[in-house]
Structure 1
Amino acid sequence: MLRLAVLLLVFATHAQAGPWPRGKGKVFYSAHANGEYIEEFGIIRQYGSIYAEYGLTDKITLGVDYNGSEIATDKAIAFLRIPLGRTDRTYRFAAELGAGLVDGETVLRPGFSVGRGITWRDRSGWITLDTRAILGEASAGMRIESDFTFGISATPRTKVILQLQGGIQSEGDDYLKFAPSVVFELKQRKARSKRKKRKGKQYVEFGITTGIVNYENYGAKLGIWREF
């Protein structure tokens, strides 16, 4: 039943914020402090995560996806994303190819994203689906990860994000998690001079994670976003 649910996520017709190119010269990054309560051992695991994108051209986006702690690096992936087909249609599609380390193993990470902007009760938002395959050594098998995201602007400065995170593993149990979060846009300080004028937008995000199927841990995160 779980595998069917995750496959529905993987092949759903709606999707998340992944398909849109960043735009030439544009930068986005986020950094989070994460805590996860591991119920089986009764301990709290702490780690950090960094995600960044840079618009190499109007269509090609380069990125970095990292998380780890002082003890070990869980994931360090560099990737490239390009749109598929026309970029002026309602649904956007994109392909991604990444490479790096996951749990100390060299991997390739091909991915696919589909998404669209929405309007709900005069509020703007988005629906996206990001799907990635983790391809390592033959002995480690293959993993598929998929994030289905619904985001909405609750106020002009506040976004609410609801996300389902699913995974299919050749070794270990398939899983499904729920990860809601709230993002607040920070007010920019008035610049004292034109040279010191601040550009771009800054946000603070707070979120939690709880298991739905085959995931017993609980998590929380606090982070910042920046785009310019």
Structure 2
Amino acid sequence: MLRGTLALLVMSLSAGMGHAGAWPREKGSGFASVSVRLGWPQNLEEWASSDPTSEYRTAYLEYGLTDRFMIGIDFGNSVSGDTKAIAFLQYPLRDQDDGPKIAVQFGFGEISKERVVRPGLAAGWGLEKGWLSIESFMELRPDSGKADYKVDLTWGRNLAMDRKFIVQLQTGVPDGDPPFARIAPSVVFPITQHYMLETGATWGVHSDSSMGMKVELWAEF
């Protein structure tokens, strides 16, 4: 069964484009999402049926506590694939009009009912018609000393009619397992004024022999 993270697939330039990434969220504004990703072996000869061999569900919430501090909750799967529930606080280290946006994050919670702390660092660059971002996290379990690592590189392009095209390289190092990498392209389109739908696929390229599909619903408030 695939072991890996259901990485957050969206980095944005501002409210209205999803998960904030390194960009600060305005005070009083928020973002929420729910998603599901299904996976199958790339080798069709390994299929015993059409049923997925892996299934990940997530729920995510972030809120601008002030114009600089952002809080949030992240439910779903960790880098190792185990269930997680993590609350976090994010603060911008660099928020200039030119150059990269840089933010630091600290989270705490549980992975498989074991205590975990999750420091993270994010950087993002605004492009003429899109954005480029990097997010990195370490999920450290103090009781066992286990540590998982994740780095995601995302390129996004804004399209007509408020649609978006996103390509993400998802990488991670689960404790005790080899590093993995997968490619995840997706398309985002609005379904109402405040809701957007993202649909995409995943394909393992290193230490990951799975392929998959994902559906995610965003909500702005």
Q: Residue 49 of structure 1 aligns with which residue?
A: 58
- Quick check: which has more Rg, 1 or 2? 1
Q: Given the alignment, which residue of 206, 211, 219 partners 2:212?
A: 219
1:116-173 Cα distance to aligned partner (Å, 9 max, x none): 1101xxxx21100000001113645322101100010122321001000111244111
1 CA distance for matches of 2:159 and 2:40? 29
- Matched-pair contact (CA < 8 Å) for 2:115–2:143: no
Task: Say whether residues 1:174 and 2:174 are aligned partners.
Answer: no
1 CA distance for matches of 2:115 and 2:192? 41
Structure 2: which 5+ residue stretches go unaligned? Answer: 1-10, 13-20
- Tell me how far 1:41 sits from its aligned partner: 7.9
Are the structure 2 counterparts of residues 38 and 98 from structure 1 closer, same or farther at C-alpha, using a change threshold of 3 Å? farther
- Matched-pair contact (CA < 8 Å) for 1:34–1:220: yes
- Matched-pair contact (CA < 8 Å) for 2:73–2:88: yes
1:154-208 Cα distance to aligned partner (Å, 9 max, x none): 22321001000111244111111111110001244xxxxxxxxxxxx21011011
Matched residue type, 2:87: A
TM-score, normalised to structure 1, is: 0.78
Seq. identity, %: 35
Q: Residue 140 of structure 2 aligns with which residue?
A: 135
Structure 1: which 5+ residue stretches go unaligned? Answer: 1-15, 189-200
Q: How does 1:69-108 map to 2 (within 5 A)?
A: 74-108=83-117
Q: Residue 126 of structure 1 aligns with which residue?
A: 131
Q: Residue 18 of structure 2 aligns with which residue?
A: none
Task: Say whether residues 1:116 and 2:116 are aligned partners.
Answer: no
Q: Given the alignment, which residue of 4, 14, 26 partners 1:23?
A: 26
- Tell me how far 1:51 sits from its aligned partner: 1.3
- Tell me how far 1:95 sits from its aligned partner: 0.2
2 CA distance for matches of 1:177 and 1:56? 34
Number of equivalenced pairs: 194
Give the stretch that moved more between structures: 208-217 or 34-43.
Answer: 34-43
1 CA distance for matches of 2:125 and 2:142? 35
Matched residue type, 2:99: T
2 CA distance for matches of 1:106 and 1:220? 30
Aligned-pair RMSD on alpha carbons? 2.1
Q: Is the partner of 1:156 in helix, strand or coil?
A: helix
Q: Residue 162 of structure 1 aligns with which residue?
A: 167
Q: Residue 147 of structure 1 aligns with which residue?
A: 152
2 CA distance for matches of 1:32 and 1:169? 22
2 CA distance for matches of 1:47 and 1:88? 37
Are the structure 2 counterparts of residues 148 and 23 from structure 1 closer, same or farther at C-alpha, using a change threshold of 3 Å? same
- Matched-pair contact (CA < 8 Å) for 2:114–2:143: no
Matched residue type, 1:129: I
Q: Is the partner of 2:159 in helix, strand or coil?
A: strand
Q: Is the partner of 1:99 in helix, strand or coil?
A: strand
1 CA distance for matches of 2:91 and 2:166? 24
- Matched-pair contact (CA < 8 Å) for 2:94–2:100: no
- Matched-pair contact (CA < 8 Å) for 1:142–1:169: yes
- Tell me how far 1:85 sits from its aligned partner: 3.1
2 CA distance for matches of 1:85 and 1:169? 30
